[in-house]
A and B are shown apart, each in its own frame.
Chain A
C-alpha cells in the first residue's frame, strides 16, 4: 500500500469556503434522495387542499385569506424541512464531524441556514404557481415575492438555530414547532399583513411598516443567532 505523503498546508479553512462546502453537501445529499423536498411539497399541497374544504373559499374572500393560507402552509412545511435537515447531522454522528473541522462555528450555522433557505425557496417555487392555478389568483407580483423572501429568511434564521437545539433533546421533532412559533410570530404577522395588502392593491405607505418590521426582524435575529450559536454547540 502506498505511503501517505501529502502534507496539506493551511491551518484553518476560510469561513466562506466552509459555508459553501456545507451548502453543497446538503444540496448534493438532498438531490440524491429528494426525501425532504418531496415530503415538504406533498405536505404543503395537502394543507392547501384541506384549507379548500375547511374554509369553503369563494372568490370574494379569497384575496383576503390567501396570504394567511400560504403562510400557514409554509410555516408547517418549514418545520418538516428544519427537523429533517438537522436529523441528518445527528445521524451517524455527523454533527461531531462538523464541529471537528477547522472552521469557524458560524460557518456551520450559516451553511445550514443557506441550505435550509434553498430548500424552503424550492418548495415555495412549486407552491406559488400551484396555488395560483388552483385558485385563479395571480401570486407573481414582485412585492409579494419580496415579502415571501424576507419572511422565509427570518423563519429559517431562527428555525435553524432552534433546530440545532431541539435535535439534541429527547422530544426532538415535537419540540421544534412549540419553540419556534412563538418566536417567529412577528414574521408571520408582518408577512401575512404585507402579503394581503399587496394582493388587495393597497398603497405602499400602508405596506411599508410591515416590510420594515420584516427587515428589522431578519437583521436582529441574524445578529443574535451569530452571537449565540457557539453556546449551543460548544459543550
Chain B
C-alpha cells in the first residue's frame, strides 16, 4: 500500500502548526473589538470555514462537469471529496455563526439571507449524499451526483438573491452599505492579520483534508478492483 506522499505529510504538519498559530492570533493576539467584546473572535474562523465550504462546493461542480464530459471516475472521487469536506465546513460555518450571533443579535438563529443560503447549501450537500446512497450502479451514481451538484450550484445564488430583497441584519464587514446592520465593524491592521492568516490556515486545512479524502477514495476503488479480480 502506498504511504502518504511527502508533500502531503508536509501539509499535515503545516496544517496543525497553522491552526495552532491561527488560534493564538485570533484568541490572544488580536485586539478586543470595542462593541462586541471577545465573542467577535469567532469571526476569524467563521468566515474561513465558510470560504472552505464554498470551495468544496465549487470543486464538486467542476468535478461534476468534468465527469459528465470525460466519464473518468477520478472526477467522481474528487466531486464526492468536495461535497464531504464542504458539508463539514458548512456545518461549522453555521455553528460558529450561531455562536457569534447569540450575544450580538441576542438570538441563536435569524432569517437573514446569508445564513439561510448557508443552510440551503448544507441541505443540498446532504441531499447529494442521500442521492448517492440510493444508487448501486457506480456510473449512474457518479452521473446523478454530478448533475445534482450542478443544479444545486446554480440554485444557491438564485436563493440568495430572492431572499436578499428583504433587509439584512447580517454584518456587512467588507462593504458597509447598510449602516444599520448591527455587528458591523471596521478591522484594524492587527485584526486584518489575524483574519487573513486564519483564511490561509483553513485553506491549507481544507486542501489537506480534500487530499486525504481523495486518497481514501482512490484506495477504496483499488480495493474494489482487487476484490473483483479475486472472484473472476
Direct contact of A and B (CB under 8 A): yes
| A184 to B162 CA separation, bound complex (whole angstroms) | 11
Instruction: Report how far A220 CA is from B150 CA in the complex, Å.
Output: 12
> How many residue pairs between the two chains, A and B, have CB atoms under 8 Å in the bound complex?
88
Residues in B with CB closer than 8 Å to A165 are 131, 144, 147-148
Question: How far, in Å, is A132 (CB) from chain B's closest CB?
Answer: 27
Stretch touching chain B among A21-29, A71-79, A175-183: A175-183
A169's contact among B127, B135, B147, B161, by CB below 8 Å, is which? B135
A224 touches B150 (CB 8 A): yes
Contact A182 B140 (CB under 8 A): no
A-B interface, 3 closest residue pairs, ranked by CB to CB distance from nearest = A169-B134, A171-B134, A186-B158
- In the assembled complex, the Cα of A184 lies from the Cα of B163 at a distance in Å of 13
B-side interface mostly: helix
B128 to A: closest C-beta gap in Å: 9
On whether the beta carbons of A193 and B147 are closer than 8 Å, the reply is no
B79 within 8 A of A: no
* Size of B's binding interface in residues, CB under 8 A: 29
Bound complex: CA of A186 vs CA of B160, how far in Å?
A: 8
Are B162 and A210 in contact, CB atoms less than 8 angstroms apart? yes
Report the Cα distance A186→B68, complex, angstroms. 26
A168 located at the interface, meaning its Cβ lies under 8 Å from any Cβ of chain B in the complex: yes
Q: Which of A183, A224, A228 has the most CB of B within 10 A?
A: A183
Q: Is the CB of B162 within 8 A of A190?
A: yes
Q: Would B130 and A171 count as touching, CB distance under 8 A?
A: yes
Residues of chain B in range 52-106 having any CB-CB distance to chain A below 8 Å:
68
Q: Are B124 and A210 interface neighbours, CB within 8 A?
A: no
In the complex, 21 of the A-B residue pairs with CB atoms within 8 angstroms, ordered by the A residue number, are A162-B151, A165-B147, A166-B131, A169-B131, A169-B144, A171-B133, A182-B124, A182-B155, A183-B152, A183-B155, A185-B159, A186-B158, A186-B159, A190-B162, A193-B165, A217-B158, A221-B151, A224-B151, A228-B147, A228-B151, A231-B143
